[in-house]
Structure formats: C-alpha cells, structure tokens
Amino acid sequence: MIQAFGLTSNPCKDLPLAVDDLSFEARAGRVTALLGAAGAGKTTALRLMLEIQQGRGITYFRGRPLHRIAHPSREVGVLLGDVPGHPARTVRGHLRMLCAAAGVPVRRADEVLEAVGLVSLRDERLGTLSRGMDRRLGLACALLPDPHALVLDDPADRLSTRERHWLHGMLRSRAAQGGTVLFTTADPKEAAHTADHVVTLDKGRLVADQDATDFARTRLRPRVAVRTPHAARLAALIAKEARTTQRSVEVVREGGNRLSVYGSTCADVGETAFRHGVLVHQLADETGDMGPGAGPFAWEAPHAPEETQDDAAASEFTGSAAPAADDAEPPVAAVQAEGRARENARSAEELKAADPLSPFPPHISVRSAPSPLRPLRYELRRAAGIGTGFLTAAAILAASAVTAVLLARVGHTPQSRLLAAWPRELPLPPAALGAGLLGALAFGDEFRHPALAADRGTVPRRLGLLAAKLLVTAATALLLAFLTVGCDAEVLYLVYGREAADVPADWLALSVGWVGLVVGCAWSGVLAAGVFRSTTAGLAAVVAVPVLVVPLVQKALEGASVRTAAGFPMRLRQVFLLQWPFGGERYLSAVARVLVQPVGSALALSLSALLCAYLLTTLRSRVR
C-alpha cells in the first residue's frame, strides 16, 4: 500500500504551487490512476512521493518512508520518462548490470525480458529502441528486483493502440498478484478502463478520490458510435425524433461517415435507422468525455492519431466501455452503464487471454544482507558493457607509442621519460591523461546516463559504490601503466634497437612513481567527477594537478623555512630497522621518495581534498 499525506511542492517565485496539500492512498491488489490534465501536478506528485523533489509531506510504502528503506528498488519499481541508460549498451547488458546493482541473480534479466516480450531484441542497443520497446524495457527494469509497488508516470504516452492494451494488461496482472500499481494519465477513458481507483487532480489539488465505477458514472457518459454513408440524414432523423419525444439527445458529426450520439442507446438508434431505411455499417456503445457544460473539471485528453481511427476496436478489445450517465438518462441506458462498469472488472482476464505474450515473471527471493561484491560486480559490468573504455585505452597506447618514437628521434630525453612517452612540454603523459579520463567516465556516465537513478533521482552516493569505482579504475590504470611502458619499449626496440629500450638502473623507484602517478590521476578523475557530477570536471581536476597545484606546492617547499624535509627517505629507512618480508622496506622507501616530490605531494593533496569533498557531499545528501 502507498499512502501519501500532505504532499506540497516548494513555492517557485510568484507561480502557484504545483502540488498543494495532496493526500491519497493506493491499495495493494488494485490499480490506481492519478488523473489530471497537463500541468495538473501529476509528475510533481510522484517526484515528491519518491523524494526526488524537495517539498513537504510524507509518503509511506507499506508503512515506511522511502528514505528509511534499505533497498528502495525492491519496494517500489519506478518508470519516470524514458529509460535511463547508455544508448550504446545492449538491452540484455543493461538489465544484467542492474541485476548486479540490485543483488538479484543474472537469470532474472532473461525472465523479465521474456515477460515483456523483448527476447528477440535483447542484443539491440538502447538508442535504437522505438517508443513502445522503450516502455517495455522500462517496465522490465522496474520489475527486475521484484518490487511490491509500481509507480509509472504516463506509461501509455505516445503508444499505439496495441501497445496500450498490452501495458494495461500487464498492470492489471501485477495488481492481480497482490502488488500495488500507481500510474498517471491525462485520459479519463484510460483511467476508467484500466484502473480500479481514480484520484483526480486539478491545479495541484485533489478534486475527486473515487472508485472507477463511481468515476465513470459521474465523470463520463456513454455514447453510441455510428458509421453510415448517410450520416447527415441519420443525424437529422435522430434529432427530429428526440424533439418529438422530448428527450435530451445530442448528435455530433465526427467527420466523414461517423456520428457520435449522446443520450441515446444502440437500440433506439438502430430502430430509427431501420424504420427509415438507412444503411448502418457500425453501431456500438462507447465511452466519451463529458462535454464543456458537464462541470469545471472536464477536459479533452490528447490521443495518439491511431486512437481516433481505431477507437471502437480498442473498446471492444478491452471490453470496458465504462459508461457515464446523468440524472436525465433513460433507465435502459443506466442499466447498460452499470453492466459495462461491471465488465471493466473483468478486463484483466480478457487482456491476458487476448495478448500472446508471456505471463508475469515469477517472484524471487532477494537476500537482504548487503554483499561487498555487489557494487564491484555492477561496476565491472558497467565498465565492460560499452566499448568506450577499450577504445580510449587503444587510443592511449597508440598516442604513447608515437610520442615515444618522436622523442627518441629528437633525442635529449631521459630514458625514464622516454619509456613513459612524457615530453617536458606536456603537463602529464598520455597514459596519465587517459587514466584520468577513464576515471572521470566512471562517475561521469552515471550522471549523464543515470541507470541507478530511477528510484531516487540522483546517483546514489554510497561508499561501497565509490570503493568499487576506485578499485576498478585502479586496476585499469595499473594495467594501462604497464601496457604503456611495455608497448613503448617494444616499439622503440623495433625502430631504434636495444639501446633505446634499456631499463634504467633505478627502475624500482621509477616504477613506483609511475604507477602512483597513473593511479592517482585515475582516482582524481573519479572523485572530481563524483563531486562535480561531470566528466569534464573530472578531467579538468586531473590536468589542474600539474598546472596549478604543483606550482603552489613547489612555491611552498622552496620558500624560506627553518627546517626542510630533505633526506626523508633515508631517515625513514633508518627508522624501520627490522627487515620486512621480501624486502618490503625498499618499496616503502620508494613510496616515500615519490611523496616528497612536488608532483607526488600535489597529487596526494588533491586526492585528499577531493575525498573530503565527496564525503562531505555524501553526508549532506544523507542528512536531507
């Protein structure tokens, strides 16, 4: 059950409140529609309920607010707008990545793909999906952790008639399994046909909270759809007989050979056509919106183009032409209205029998205990799911090899810088810049294509996710550092011979410094992108280390002082007199030698500042 109490959006300048003191509930086992015209506050209400947007009020999901639920995605499945995700990722890869994040078995991805009818498109890219397939994928993402509730924002928008029927059938099936379903719509007929309960909004305020039967009786009215080649003649005959019998009947020409007759029945219209010899091609009951004089909360809802042409077929498919009648309606029409309202309750079974797709995915048991491998699995699938990282690494190796060959040709370059392809004119070598870019992409892609943001609106700032990103980027940077030196040495050997590829004598200290530089740049990119929510900001923070921070550190170290840190590595070696296993004191001395250098000090200082900023923003988000 979902219970919303006093939802109120924050005021925006002189504009009226988008949502003003809204309270309602959506019960388990029922489909609840949040109905309203464009600008009525439906989407804002959902964002307030999901704590995506700041405001007042509180929403309980089975008795608990969302921020008190350890794993929100297991309690509520959300579909707001288009499916978030990298457009180059495959459908199956996207779902498998979300499986790793939610801690569910990988086979769950195949189960939901079969349930939503996307098995044949599992290898398609997200950017190539049509609107209907995107809606199916969004529903699959929402169902992946097997949540109790579904919250969908206008899920049938711009869908074809068949896709609408399929989606409504899935929602009815979910409610039949005991789940809570809440969706928004601007179409009163869709709300009456699909939902068990309708909550109507107007200008952010609650104007009606009623069952679908009461909604159909008070907000909609029945009409008779007629198709005849003699539409004008039949319209005149119906109007004449209505005046003769003093009945309130309205005849509307819909264009071409179609008529909509309000306040009458199929039997009366059929008898009139039969008596006057008028040929009729179609005669069916439909549900129409109330006219302009029906009340202050009536509106004309937007429809897709194909809806207008196939309206009668859609009504017969759903079997739910839920009527509306006013006090002047004849008794026969009132009885027919009650009968059609009862038929609306059986629409789920009819839809399920009419649609050949697979049944709903089975329930799964998800372990509530957090797993330390879950963020790591997610990050591995995120990084390996698209080719950006591989292409970036290939470009880095190629640029580094070309730079090393050019430096060797010019000469006057130390052997350590030659193997690292680091000209003195560049602030950083290509490998360090590439590692920083890969680190910035690790968080930058999360904010640009927020696959994890469906339930909370922002990328979750969890320390487990940060640790996984740091670990994966460190391993990637380490591999990139060794591959760069190896490729450069091999290319130099092939072009210039063995002398150009000689290993320096102090290779241990140089290796520690090289690895520390590349890994530090990668971590700087991760932390900066996480703090500033941008890939560009992450890469800028990496470049700022040698350009801005190093000069400041050098100026601080070269300034007038009483004591200096000269000889720090030697004194550190003397302190640790004990012999470490496998000569560990040598590595510690090499690390100390790197840290006392200006670049090492600047990088360590930048990392410390970025880590503190990330932790500060994490604590602020949790306090809110």
Q: Three-state SS string across 161-172, please?
A: HHHHHHHHHHHH
Last residue of a domain, one of 210, 240, 258: 210
Q: Is residue 366 part of a domain?
A: no
Same structural domain, 541 and 419: yes
- In this structure, the strands spanning 205-211 and 64-65 are unpaired
Residue matched to tokens 């002398």: 499
| 3-class SS string, 86-142 | CCCCEHHHHHHHHHHHHCCCCHHHHHHHHHHCCHHHCCCEHHHCCHHHHHHHHHHHH
Same structural domain, 36 and 117: yes
What CA–CA distance (Å, rounded) separates 311 from 285? 11
453 pLDDT exceeds 80? no
Q: Is residue 504 within 8 Å of 591, Cβ to Cβ?
A: no
DSSP per residue over 305-334, as a string? HHHHHTHHHHHHHHT-------TTS-HHHH
The CATH number of residue 261's host domain is 3.30.70.980
Domain that holds residue 276: 217-294+302-354
Question: Which pTM value belongs to this model?
Answer: 0.72
Same structural domain, 195 and 341: no
DSSP-based three-state secondary structure for 417: helix
Q: Is residue 363 part of a domain?
A: no
Same structural domain, 203 and 224: no
- In this structure, the strands spanning 282-289 and 2-9 are unpaired
Q: Is residue 323 part of a domain?
A: yes
Same structural domain, 402 and 502: yes
Q: Is residue 50 part of a domain?
A: yes
Q: Is residue 510 within 8 Å of 426, Cβ to Cβ?
A: no
Same structural domain, 187 and 264: no
200 pLDDT exceeds 90? yes
359 pLDDT exceeds 70? no
33 pLDDT exceeds 60? yes
More confident residue, 359 or 210: 210
Mean pLDDT of the chain: 79
Same structural domain, 315 and 245: yes
Q: pLDDT band at 456, cuts 50/70/90? A: very low
Which range (147-156, 378-387, 448-457) has the least confidence?
Answer: 448-457
Q: Using one digit for the tens of pLDDT, what is the confidence trace for 366-412?
A: 444 445 557 888 899 999 988 899 999 999 999 999 999 999 888 88
- In this structure, the strands spanning 31-35 and 197-202 are parallel
Query: 120 CB contacts (<8 Å, ≥6 apart)?
Result: none
Same structural domain, 428 and 506: yes
What CA–CA distance (Å, rounded) separates 251 from 236? 9
The CATH number of residue 9's host domain is 3.40.50.300
Question: Beta-carbon neighbour count of residue 422 at 10 Å?
Answer: 24
From 387, 432, 444, 383, select the one nearest 542 (Cα to Cα). 432
Q: Is residue 361 part of a domain?
A: no
Residue 95: how many CA atoms within 13 Å on its side-chain side?
A: 31
Q: Is residue 147 part of a domain?
A: yes
What CA–CA distance (Å, rounded) separates 57 from 5? 6
Q: How many domains does the chain have?
A: 3
Same structural domain, 471 and 342: no
- Predicted confidence at residue 181, as pLDDT, reads 95
Interval 42-58 mean pLDDT: 90
Q: Using one digit for the tens of pLDDT, what is the confidence trace for 266-297?
A: 999 999 999 999 999 999 887 665 543 343 33
- Predicted confidence at residue 54, as pLDDT, reads 86
Q: Using one digit for the tens of pLDDT, what is the confidence trace for 335-350?
A: 333 443 444 334 334 4
- In this structure, the strands spanning 258-262 and 220-227 are antiparallel
What CA–CA distance (Å, rounded) separates 361 from 364? 9
Q: pLDDT band at 358, cuts 50/70/90? A: very low
DSSP-based three-state secondary structure for 8: strand
Q: Is residue 252 part of a domain?
A: yes
Same structural domain, 414 and 345: no
DSSP per residue over 330-394, as a string? -HHHHHHHHHHHHHHTTHHHHHHHH--S--PPPP-----S--THHHHHHHHHHHHSSSHHHHHHH
Which range (61-70, 395-404, 608-617) has the least confidence?
Answer: 608-617
Same structural domain, 41 and 171: yes
Q: In terms of C-beta density within 10 A (0-12 exposed, 13-18 middle, 19 or more buried), how is residue 343 classed?
A: middle
Residue matched to tokens 């180059």: 88
DSSP per residue over 464-490, as a string? HHHHHHHHHHHHHHHHHHHHHHHHHHH
Provide the β-strand partners of residue 200.
35, 208
Q: Is residue 72 within 8 Å of 456, Cβ to Cβ?
A: yes
